[in-house]
């Protein structure tokens, strides 16, 4: 599995927040219900994103969580790095420690290229473009539900 569950949940939540029409706080409870993620588990994951400054939270009624920057300023790599760390993009396909510093293994060049490909894709994809695309084409953000319940009531029979 490329990304941890926590990272996947973080990405989905970020996309959900970027898709909101207004920029107010959204409660973690609402996110967990809409995206079908365990509330307490999600709370911990989002804490990681607030501690790195990608999101900000507010307690009490009317509280919740929101992106600090606009969706177009947040790329997927930032989110992955905040939750799973950068190991995926620095470590070795063969699990050998100390890559790059010491003598490489025969797979290195090919693996480094592939690894950079993953990174490039994540760095060059921002939340805004995904949210925009999801809304326009009414794509999905959870197993069954999509972006239709983010819009007012545009297209409900698109199946």
Partner DNA sequence: GAGTTTTAAGAGTATTTTGTCTTAATTTAA
Partner DNA sequence: TTAAATTAAGACAAAATACTCTTAAAACTC
The rounded distance, in Å, linking the Cα atoms of 38 and 48 is 16
> CB-wise, 69 or 108, nearer to ligand SF4?
108
**3-state class of 77 per DSSP?**
helix
Any contact of residue 155 with ligand SF4 (CB under 6 A)?
Answer: no
Pick from 159, 134, 156: which is nearest to 147 by CA?
134
Q: 66, 56 in Cβ contact below 8 A?
A: yes
Distance CA 71, CA 158 (A): 26
| Residue 155 sits in the site that holds a second copy (CB under 8 A) | no
Which lies closer to DNA via its Cβ, residue 83 or residue 126?
A: 83
CB-nearer residue toward a second copy: 25 or 74 = 74
- Residue 151 as a binder of a second copy (CB under 8 A): the answer is no
Between residues 44 and 110, which has the closer beta carbon with respect to a second copy? 110
Q: Which of 40, 103, 152, 157 binds a second copy (CB under 8 A)?
A: 103
Yes or no: say if 147 and 138 are a contact pair by the CB < 8 Å rule: yes
CB of 155 to DNA, least distance (A): 28
Is residue 15 within 8 A of residue 55, CB to CB? The reply is no
Is residue 117 part of the contact set for a second copy (CB under 8 A)?
yes
Q: Which residues are CB-neighbours of 53 under 8 A, at least 6 positions away? A: 68
Residues of this chain that bind a second copy (CB under 8 A): 1-3, 5, 8, 11-12, 15, 76, 87-88, 91, 93-98, 102-108, 110-111, 113-114, 117-118, 121, 125, 129-131, 133-134, 137-143, 146
């Amino acid at each position: 599995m490329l990304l941890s569950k926590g990272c996947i949940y973080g990405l989905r939540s970020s996309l959900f927040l970027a898709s909101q029409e207004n920029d107010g706080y959204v409660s973690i409870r609402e996110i967990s219900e809409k995206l079908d993620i365990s509330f307490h588990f999600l709370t911990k994951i989002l804490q990681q994103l607030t501690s790195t400054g990608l999101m900000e939270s507010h307690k009490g009624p009317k509280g919740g969580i929101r992106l600090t920057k606009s969706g177009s300023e947040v790329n997927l790599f930032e989110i992955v790095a905040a939750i799973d760390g950068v190991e995926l993009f620095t470590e070795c396909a063969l699990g050998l420690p100390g890559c790059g510093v010491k003598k490489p293994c025969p797979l290195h060049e090919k693996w480094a290229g592939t690894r950079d490909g993953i990174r490039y894709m994540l760095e060059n994809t921002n939340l805004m473009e995904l949210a925009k695309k999801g809304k326009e084409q009414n794509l999905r953000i959870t197993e069954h539900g999509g972006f239709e319940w983010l819009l007012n009531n545009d297209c409900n029979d698109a199946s």
